Amino acid sequence: MEGVPDEKCALVAELVQVLEMARHLETRMAVLQQQGGGEHQQCRALLSTMRASIDRAVHLAVSCRAEAARPESPPSGGDGSPRSGSGGSDQAGEVRGRGNATGQCKKRKALPKSSIQVRVSTVQDVSPLDDGLSWRKYGQKDILGAKYPRAYFRCTHRHTQSCQASKQVQRTDGDPLLFDVVYHGTHTCAQAAAAAAHHHGNNHPATDQATSPGCVVAGPAALPFSLRPAASNKPTGAAADDGATSSRFIATGCTVVTASPFVYPATPDCQLVSGGGGGGYAVGGGGGVAGVPNVPDVELASTTNSPMAMGEMDFMFPLDAADFLELENPASYF
DNA sequence: CGCATTTGACCATA
DNA sequence: TATGGTCAAATGCG
Angstrom distance, A219 CA to C14 C1': 11
Q: Is the CB of A291 under 7 A from strand B?
A: no
Q: What is the 3-state secondary structure (H, E, C) of chain A?
A: CCCCHHHHHHHHHHHHHHHHHHHHHHHHHHHHHHHCCCCHHHHHHHHHHHHHHHHHHHHHHHHHHHHCCCCCCCCCCCCCCCHHHHCCCCCCCCCCCCCCCCCCCCCHHHCCEEEEEEECCCCCCCHHHCCCCCEEEEEEECCCCCCCCEEEEEECCHHHHCCCCEEEEEECCCCCCEEEEEEECCCCCHHHHHHHHHHHHCCCHHHHHHHCCCCCCCCCCCCCCCCCCCCCCCCCCCCCCCCCCCCCCCCCCCCCCCCCCCCCCCCCCEEEEECCCCCCCCCCCCCCCCCCCCCCHHHHHHHCCCCCCCHHHHHHCCCCCCCCCCCCCHHHHC
* Residue A293 CB in 7 A reach of strand B: yes
**A140 CB closer than 7 A to any strand B atom:** yes
User: In chain A, which residues from 65 to 94 place their CB closer than 7 Å to nucleic acid strand C?
Assistant: 79, 81-84, 86, 88-93
Q: A289 CA, C6 C1': separation in Å? A: 20
Q: Which nucleotide is nearest to A88 (CA to C1')?
A: C8
Distance A153 CA to B2 C1' (A): 20
Q: Is the CB of A150 under 7 A from strand C?
A: yes
Nucleotides of B under 7 A from a protein CB: 4-14
Question: Which nucleotide is nearest, taking the CA of residue A75 and each C1'?
Answer: C6
Name the residue ranges covered by the structural domains of chain A.
110-333
pLDDT recorded at residue A218: 38
pLDDT tens track, chain A, 334 positions: 443 444 555 565 666 666 666 666 767 666 665 665 555 666 666 666 666 666 556 555 554 444 443 333 333 333 333 333 333 333 333 334 444 333 333 334 456 677 777 766 665 665 556 666 788 899 999 888 888 889 999 888 877 777 778 888 888 877 777 788 888 877 777 666 665 565 454 444 333 333 333 333 333 444 545 443 333 333 333 333 333 333 333 333 333 334 333 344 444 444 444 443 333 333 333 333 333 333 334 333 333 333 333 333 333 333 333 333 333 343 333 4
From the CA of A317, how many Å to the C1' of B14?
43
Confidence at residue A152, expressed as pLDDT on a 0 to 100 scale: 92
Output the CA torsion sign for A193, A194, A200, A204. Answer: negative
Which nucleotides of strand C lie within 7 A of protein CB?
2-10
